[in-house]
A and B are shown apart, each in its own frame.
Chain A
Amino acid sequence: MSAAPAAPGAAGPPVAPGGGPPDHVAPTRPPLGPPAAAGAPTARPRPRHPRSALVAAGVLALLVAVAALAPVVAPHAPEALDLADRRAAPSTAHWFGTDELGRDLLTRVLFGARVSLAIGLVSAGVSAAIGVVVGATAGYAGRWAEALLMRLTDAMLSVPRLPLLMIAAAVLDPGVPLLVLLVGAVGWMETARVVRAEVQSLRARDHVAAARALGAPPTRVLARHVLPGVAPTAAVATALAVGRGILLESALSFFGVGVQPPTASWGSMLYQAQATMSTEPWLGLFPGAFVFLTVLCCNVLGDALAAARPGAE
């Protein structure tokens, strides 16, 4: 059995700066939550479920609800042309203004939310699935499987993510489903790393040893005794992956290799807006602001989840 640390605190902040072995593994950024060091002179206790996290969760839920109900709540039809009112600045009739065809931007942002949020959420699911499978296999099996999988993870982390994805999207010319898979396929490495570390530490615990001693097959030990302990860590990585997925989609579409017309996402709206940014800035400001807001909520939520994990104080 490997000598993995069995202390309950092992699930805590991913890196103890200065304390951990100088591994070649990239240090993960510490969570935003409560201060890592309780004895620091300025340490002050913070609530376990900070208000910011509740607000972020509320805003995300609202965005998802509004996106799902877009046909009902949007003030106009998505393709309705108001040719008399083209390129109109934000007003009471068109809160976010109109585009070059007189389409209502608020309506388009709401419909774009469906595409952007769906890609963010589903691609994070794909990332989580790949990351958990790779990380758990590497952490539990050890030996050559671990060496192989972790070198693959390192290799994927060495290739700049966005250019890789841009080439893949340009080569494959994907529709939305394939795009989701591509975004998911470049976002699993962080999850795999934290899951592997977590599985290694869980594998050395007494309850896992007991299950093995009782003759449980490895798959059962993994599914019933190890993976539940991985869930909090995987949840953090997944929340962050939702935000990253939305950012990646918007960047891809911004370069014209992501979501293609007539489907519109926030990123593809920005792609169309960039040429007219100096005359009709609202066309770029609003879709981007929604990307920003959504990613912010995901990050705040991810940080709060990280701070609330057992062992993270």
Chain B
Amino acid sequence: MTALLLRRLAQAVPLLLLVSALVFTLVHLVPGGPLALYLENPNVRPEDIERLRRALGLDRPLPEQYLAWLGAFVRGDWGYSFADGRPVLARLAERLPATLELVGASTVAAVAVALAAALVAARRPLADRAVTLGAVLALSLPVFWFGLVLQFAFGTALGWLPSAGRATFGGGDLADRLAHLVLPATVLAVAHAAGWSRYLRAALRTALALPFAQAARARGVGERRILLRHALRHALRPFATVVLLDASIMASGAVVTESVFAWPGLGGLFTEALARRDYPVLMAFLMSASCAVVALGVVSDVAVWLLDPRTREAR
């Protein structure tokens, strides 16, 4: 396993270098560089901009800037937010727990729904059609619109659930926090539940047709037991991979969901930073999200190694 880990990390490093180059180039495409916003501000004098440019190293050649930025990034010096001058790392860190709470709750919910839906669909044709239809519907939903509709229906019209924030101001016992979590977590979970149930359903059907399932059937094992003990075990490995590799989509979804529901997490920070063109925060968000995606890719490979002994010799 150490060898596998080392090999995958060796692949991850050039990948992340490429990602960082993409992100850096993107932000420096803007005419005038990251300080372009100040150029339009009549309260900022041209000589101040020039001074800032030198202070931030923006007058140096791009490759040199990139190396300096990358070196600082690796050392944990992610720069200072344009918005309030605080270290970017601190701003991201204070937002991380809220995002982990939301993403964690959605992932658990989506996995549970996907498991239940796929297991029912694998055995009953009628349920299969319902799950198939539900999945394609859910996968087509515009996330932010779905959020607005739920907010309107359950928050405004029915008044059952709070439609914004992470807790009532000043309050915040467990029930209150959970009530705030329901709508955003649902919105974020729906598309994933759909995609994953679709995937697991196909994997289960394939597994049910394989010789080991036939053999179990021939031995007189009940269909229920074959499904739960044999087919599911077989299908869990690719399913785990899919769940972990969807992290990138989860990050995109979190940006939208947090913004709609005013959830005080990283996604909300990202949209705030976007509105202010706060480039250090934007770059740090994109880089850390990409690092998380790549890291989860490594985790999924290790998970496969652990879950499926057959893959071990092949490497």
Chains A and B form a bound pair: yes
A-to-B contact residues, CB < 8 Å: 13, 15-19, 21-22, 24, 26-27, 29-30, 32, 35-44, 151-152, 154-164, 166-168, 170-172, 243, 247, 250-251, 254-257, 270, 273-274, 277-278, 281, 284-285, 288, 291-292, 295-296, 298-300, 303
Instruction: Write 11 A-B pairs (CB below 8 A) sorted by A numbering.
Output: A17-B235, A18-B237, A22-B315, A30-B198, A37-B207, A39-B209, A163-B282, A247-B142, A255-B259, A284-B149, A299-B140
Q: Is B229 an interface residue (CB 8 A)?
A: no
- Our pick among B156, B206, B275, B315 for the contact of A37 (Cβ within 8 Å) is B206
A97 to B11, CA, bound (A): 55
Q: Which residue of B has the minimal Cβ distance to A19?
A: B206
- Our pick among B137, B139, B144, B237 for the contact of A251 (Cβ within 8 Å) is B144
* A159 x B144 contact (CB < 8 A): no
Q: Is B294 an interface residue (CB 8 A)?
A: yes
- Our pick among B132, B209, B255, B282 for the contact of A162 (Cβ within 8 Å) is B255
Total residue contacts A-B, CB cutoff 8 A: 211
* B205 x A36 contact (CB < 8 A): yes
A274 to B261, CA, bound (A): 11
Given A157-B248, A159-B23, A171-B30, A18 and B274 contact (CB-CB distance below 8 Å): no
Q: Is B202 an interface residue (CB 8 A)?
A: yes
A24 to B304, CA, bound (A): 10
Contacts of A24 in B (CB 8 A): 8, 11, 297, 301
B-to-A contact residues, CB < 8 Å: 8, 11, 14-16, 18-19, 22-23, 26-27, 29-30, 122-125, 128, 132, 135-137, 139-145, 148-149, 151-152, 156, 195, 198-199, 202-203, 205-210, 214, 223, 234-235, 237-239, 241-242, 245, 248-249, 251-252, 255-256, 259-260, 270-271, 274-275, 277, 282, 285-286, 289-290, 293-294, 297, 301, 304-305, 308, 311, 314-315
* B251 x A160 contact (CB < 8 A): yes
Given A32-B132, A155-B19, A159-B19, A167 and B140 contact (CB-CB distance below 8 Å): no
Tell me the interface secondary structure of chain B in the complex.
helix
Given A37-B206, A171-B26, A288-B145, A27 and B198 contact (CB-CB distance below 8 Å): no
Contacts of B149 in A (CB 8 A): 284-285, 288
* A42 x B136 contact (CB < 8 A): no
Given A17-B238, A39-B209, A251-B143, A163 and B285 contact (CB-CB distance below 8 Å): yes
* B202 x A30 contact (CB < 8 A): yes
A152 to B210, CA, bound (A): 36
Contacts of A18 in B (CB 8 A): 203, 206-207, 210, 234-235, 237-238, 308
- Our pick among B11, B16, B29, B214 for the contact of A172 (Cβ within 8 Å) is B29
* B308 x A22 contact (CB < 8 A): yes
Q: Lowest 3 A-B CB distances belong to which pairs?
A: A288-B145, A37-B209, A17-B203
* A171 x B29 contact (CB < 8 A): yes
Given A32-B136, A42-B125, A288 and B293 contact (CB-CB distance below 8 Å): no
Q: Which residue of B has the minimal Cβ distance to A287?
A: B145
Given A21-B314, A27-B241, A250 and B248 contact (CB-CB distance below 8 Å): no
